[in-house]
Amino acid sequence: MKKKTPGDNESNGQKGWLIVSGIAFLITLLAACILVFKGEELENIGIVGNIYYIILVPLGFSSAAFLGGAMKSYASFTSNESFRYGKLHLTGPIVIFALVVGGGFVLPRLDKNDFFDLKFRVVEKGKTSDLLNDGKLILYVGKEPKTANINDGEAIFYNIPEEFGNKRVKILPVIENYQLADHDQVLITKDDNYIDIELVRTEESLNTQVRGSIINSENIPVKNAFLNFGSGLASCYTNQNGDFFLTVPLPEGERISLKVLIDNVVEFDESVTLSSGIPINLKL
């Protein structure tokens, strides 16, 4: 049986050190790469970029420890009359640690761009629509468009590159029954608290297709009954089956007066709610 020498113990210890430090180096290197290449996705879920710099410290230690197992390291300090403040001489892992941590702080900032946030406010007929909570805005900046949901009449876009400041860019509202009032270009600037987006209702939403039927107290359809919506805004007659269909030039959900006349006698005079999905069925 071969007797272990102190050199063998030292060799085994060095191998173990290399394995442990190598694994730690690979783990921290992988974490740093994920933060670098997936930074935007991680920021969207609440992981801020400062964690990257925390990863640098263990990455520096592990890389220095791993490489230090295969190369000798020392630090010396000399001071004499020739060197007023002394001379520090560093080699090996300590240099690696300094390069990893120091370089990690400096290199990501070489091409770093400044960003700013944009807040848009939806405006209809010169008045803010703070009750609008449905829909979204699409802003075309950079390689891919950005999307923001509308809440209380506002939409916020984060991390707009500073290069787009004071420039006109395309914006598109995705809001049911609404469209831009004029052009689809907006001047964005980081100095404004709000940028107003003027909206108007679409032509289709300004008209409501109304239908229904009229019967008498004996459940018999009333033909040729005259329906007058909004004092002449829209009118029609019922057909042979007592049914009617017409277009009222008002948006859905509006309240409007309705008079029903049979042989020039008013049989119904009340307000109704316009709806394209719910018919107006009357029993006289």
Q: 246: domain CATH number?
A: 2.60.40.10
Is the same domain home to 93 and 119? no
Is the same domain home to 22 and 61? yes
- The per-residue pLDDT string of the chain (284 residues; one tens digit each, 9 = 90 and over) reads 445 555 555 566 556 666 766 676 677 667 667 666 666 665 555 555 555 556 666 666 666 665 555 555 555 555 555 555 555 555 555 555 565 555 555 555 544 557 888 899 888 766 666 656 788 999 998 778 899 999 888 899 988 888 888 888 999 998 888 888 888 888 887 777 788 888 888 887 889 999 999 999 999 999 999 999 999 999 999 999 999 999 999 988 899 999 999 999 999 999 999 999 999 999 98
On whether residue 58 sits in a domain, the answer given is: yes
Is the same domain home to 18 and 78? yes
On whether residue 268 sits in a domain, the answer given is: yes
Is the same domain home to 100 and 168? no
Domain end position, chosen among 201, 219, 250: 201
Question: What local confidence, expressed as pLDDT, does residue 41 receive?
Answer: 64
Number of domains in the chain: 3
On whether residue 39 sits in a domain, the answer given is: yes
Q: Note whether 171 and 197 are within 8 A (CB).
A: yes
On whether residue 178 sits in a domain, the answer given is: yes
Question: What local confidence, expressed as pLDDT, does residue 110 receive?
Answer: 46
Amino acid found at 256: I
Domain end position, chosen among 201, 225, 251: 201
| Domain extent for 43 | 6-109
Whichever domain contains 135, its CATH number is 2.60.40.1120
On whether residue 150 sits in a domain, the answer given is: yes
Is the same domain home to 11 and 100? yes
Is the same domain home to 136 and 230? no
Pairwise CA distance, residues 207 & 202, whole Å: 9
Is the same domain home to 237 and 257? yes
Helix (H, G, I), strand (E, B) or coil at 220: coil
How many angstroms separate the Cα of 230 from the Cα of each of 160, 193, 255?
49, 42, 9
Is the same domain home to 34 and 84? yes
pTM for the whole structure: 0.46
In the chain the beta strands, taken as DSSP E runs, fall at 75-80, 83-90, 115-124, 127-128, 136-140, 146-149, 154-161, 167-174, 178-180, 185-188, 195-201, 208-215, 226-229, 234-237, 243-248, 255-262, 265-273, 280-283
Is the same domain home to 82 and 138? no
On whether residue 1 sits in a domain, the answer given is: no
Residue 141: closest CA among 165, 112, 122, 121: 165
Is the same domain home to 98 and 17? yes
Is the same domain home to 145 and 89? no
Is the same domain home to 14 and 94? yes
Domain end position, chosen among 57, 90, 109: 109
